[in-house]
Amino acid sequence: MAGRFEGKQALVLGVANQRSIAWAIAKRLADEGAAVAFTYQGERIEKNVRDLAASVSSPLVTECDVRSDDDVARVFSEVSDTFGGGLDILVHSVAFAAAEDLEGRFVDTPRDRFWMAVDISAYSLVACSRAAEPLMEARGGGSIVTMTYLGGERAVPHYNVMGVAKATLDASVRYLAWDLGFKNIRVNAISAGPVRTLAARSIAGFTTMQTMFEERAPLHRQIESDDCGAAAAYLLSDDAANVSGTTLYVDAGYHAMGM
């Protein structure tokens, strides 16, 4: 549906390269008329993000360390300046855990790396939603979407501390939906099946996970980032005006299976 996001202003966090789920969502928004701003984390991926942003005529590309309250405040100040004080859409596709914590046993996760994973992967949604709130209120409401995974509900070998972080993220979505609903701001999550992204490469046994997924999912097929882009476009659009606090599974039905 062309033009669904005409006149809308969006901020997308978490693009790393053209295979990122966040990029699939951002491109879908831009293709349907939204002005899309981007953040990136670190010099290593800056050029990738800037090149992708340029391809959709982005008005803003800025660095953001989501563990820094000052950095989050600066980013949303820049977004406010760029978009005239308003924001309609926030896409949060940010997660991180140390590689060594995605290989061994969860019980061996050290305290500092446990809190790092939760801070980056879950609390960052809270911090960014709080910063987005006045900008969305100025536009009469808005929509926020984050990316989660079934490992937050069930134990997935090698997902470990990231699963705990996703469980925290899932609960945060529900509480944010309640808090922000009074201002017509919706908060939802997409739970995707395994997609071969930069982040997925750090999970031990990911290829085996994909094979098992295709065997056991009711639709017996893999998930692509564009599938998530389409689902996010629905949740972020007015088509989902009465959908909030919800997790939408984009996993070929895998979550419905018992084994």
> Helices in the chain by DSSP H: which ranges?
21-31, 43-55, 69-82, 111-118, 124-137, 160-181, 206-216, 225-236
Give the active site residue among 40, 123, 149, 254: 149
Residue that is written with structure tokens 């490469």 in the block: 201
Phi first, then psi: give them for residue 59, nearest 5 degrees. -85, -10
The span from the CA of 178 to the CA of 141, in Å, is 14
Strand partners, 37: 11
Give the active site residue among 40, 159, 175, 234: 159
Is 249 a residue of the active site? no
The span from the CA of 6 to the CA of 206, in Å, is 38
SS3 155: coil
Is 123 a residue of the active site? no
- Which sequence positions are flagged as catalytic? 149, 159
